[in-house]
Structure 1
Amino acid sequence: MIAHVSRLWCNSAAALKRLLNLTAGLMLLLMMLLTAVDVVGRYLFNRPLIGGAELIEIMLAASIFLILPTITWHNEHVAVDLLDPRFPRWLRALRDRLCHLFMAVGCGYMAMTVWKLAERAARYNSVSEYLSIPSAWAMFLIGVCLWLTAITFAVMTLLGDANALPATHSHPLEEATAL
C-alpha cells in the first residue's frame, strides 16, 4: 500500500513539475514573440503593440513563480557556501533542514497574504490599465505557486537533502524528485 501511494505521489509530482516547467517556458516564448512584434511595430510601422508591455509584465511574474517550486526542489537558488567546508556534514544537514522549515513557513505566510490580496482585488474588480485583465488572476497564480513552494520546502525539511537521496529511477519521466 505504501509503495502504491509513494508511486502515485512521485508520478503526480513529476506530472505537475512538467506542467509548471512547460507553462513557464511557454510564457518565456510568448514574451519573446510579443517583444519582437512590439519592436517591429514600433520602429518599422510606428505602431507599437497596445498593452504589450502590460502582457509582458504579467507573463514575467507568472514565469518566475511557475518555476519557483522546481528551482526550490533542485536547490538551484543563489547560495554562497564560504564556510560549508569548515562545518561537519551533520551540522550542515541540520542547518539545511532548519532553513527549509523556515522557508516553508515563510512561503506559506506569503501565499496566504497574496491570496488575501487576490481576493480583495477580485472583490474590487481590479483590472490592468490598458487591457483590463483582472489583476486577481495573476495574484491567485502567484499564491498557488507560493503554496507549492511552501509544500516543496516542507517535503525537503522532512526528507533532508534531495541530492543525497538514492536514485530509484533512471528514466527522466519517472523522476522521483519531481517537486
Structure 2
Amino acid sequence: MHFSTWLHSHYKEKGPVLWLAFALEALAALVLVLLMLLTCADVVGRYFFSNAVDGAVEMTEIAIAVIVFAEIPVITWRGTHVVVDIMDNFFGQAWVKLLESLSAVVITASLYFLGERIFVEAARSLRRNEVTEHLQLPIGYVIQYIGVMCWIAAAGTLTWGIYRLFRGRAAAVTA
C-alpha cells in the first residue's frame, strides 16, 4: 500500500488540512515515542546505575505540552471533542444548530484571545531570557508554540462551526 493511499484511507480531511492533520499527529506520535524512550532510559539509569537522566522532568513537561497542543487543533476541526447533548431531544433542530453555532463562536473567540495572551507571555519570557532550571532551555519558544496551536485550533473551530451551520442546508438542497 502506498503512503498516499494509506493517508487518504485513514484521514477524512481534504486538501491542506489533511497534511496539517497528519503532520500534527505525526509530531505528537514522534514526541510520544521519544518521551517513552526518555522514561525508559531514566528508569534504567535510576535503578541500575543510580544515575537518572538530567533534566528528564523538564523534557517530560515540554513533551507533554507539545503532544497536547499538537492534538487540540485536530480534535477541534474534526469536532471530536466531548459534547454533552442530553438536552438536544428537548430542543428542536433549529435551537440545537443555533446553540452549536454560538458555542463555536465562543470557543473560537476564547482560543484566539487565549493565543493572543499566550503570545504576549512568550514575548515577555523571551525578553527576560527565561530558561528551564536544569537544562537552561529557553521556555519562550514552547510558549509561542502553544499560542500558535491555540490560533490553529481557533481557525479549526470556526471552520467546524461554519461547516455544521451549513451542512444541513447543503443536504436539503441536494435532496
Q: TM-score range by the shorter chain?
A: 0.7 to 0.9
Distance 1:146 1:83, change over 3 A: same
Distance 1:85 1:26, change over 3 A: same
CA distance in 2, matches of 1:45, 1:138: 32
| 1:5 aligned partner | none
1:78: how far off?
2.2
SS in 1 for 2:43: helix
Moved over 4 A (4+): 161-166
SS in 2 for 1:86: coil
| 1:169 aligned partner | none
| 1:91 aligned partner | 95
1:159: how far off?
1.9
How large is the Cα RMSD of the aligned pairs?
A: 1.9
| 1:145 aligned partner | 149
Structure 1 position 77 matched with structure 2 position 66? no
Indicate conservation of the 8 Å contact 1:74/1:162, yes or no: no
1:83: how far off?
1.5
| 2:127 aligned partner | 123
Distance 1:76 1:157, change over 3 A: closer
1:47: how far off?
0.6
Runs of at least 5 residues in structure 2 that lack an aligned partner in the other structure: 1-12
Distance 1:163 1:47, change over 3 A: farther
1:162: how far off?
9.2
Runs of at least 5 residues in structure 1 that lack an aligned partner in the other structure: 1-8, 167-179
1:79: how far off?
2.5
SS in 2 for 1:160: helix
**Which gives a bigger RCO, structure 1 or 2 (Cα 8 Å, sep 6+)?**
1
**Structure 2 counterpart of 1:84, which letter?**
D
**Structure 2 counterpart of 1:135, which letter?**
I
- Of the three residues 101, 104, 111, the one matched with 2:108 is 104
| 1:22 aligned partner | 26
Matched positions, count = 158
**Structure 1 length-normalised TM:** 0.82
CA distance in 1, matches of 2:101, 2:150: 19
Deviations 1:82-123 (A, max 9, x none): 212222222111111110000000000000000000011111
Indicate conservation of the 8 Å contact 1:73/1:162, yes or no: no
**Structure 1 counterpart of 2:124, which letter?**
R
| 2:63 aligned partner | 59
CA distance in 2, matches of 1:127, 1:141: 15
Indicate conservation of the 8 Å contact 1:97/1:156, yes or no: no
